[in-house]
Amino acid sequence: MITTITRKNMVTIPAEIGRRLGIKPGYRLDWQPVEGKEEILVRVIPDRSELARRLLGAGRQFAPERDAVAELIQERAAED
């Protein structure tokens, strides 16, 4: 897909690519020139709430039998 750069160096992301990659308002793009080529690598960086949502429950795969929240509550209660 081809897009046009405006006079203020702004670019519109084609709708199909935005939908395919789940790009939403608040997401950032990391632009990296490819060394020795006239190419740019663009990486999508989700907003903080999306990153947190993706991490939710990620530790369960390493210790499914543990309840980390309950353990933390017990530790905090023991400190008091």
Please report, in tens digits, the pLDDT of each residue of the chain (80 residues total): 899 999 999 999 999 999 999 999 989 999 999 999 999 999 999 988 888 888 887 777 788 888 878 888 999 999 87
29 strand-pairing partners: 44
Confirm if 75 and 54 have CB atoms less than 8 A apart.
Answer: no
- According to the model, what pLDDT value does residue 50 have? 87
- According to the model, what pLDDT value does residue 51 have? 84
What global pTM score does this model have? 0.59
Domain ranges (residues) in the chain: 15-79
For 59, the token pair is 């530790």
- According to the model, what pLDDT value does residue 5 have? 94
Confirm if 70 and 76 have CB atoms less than 8 A apart.
Answer: no
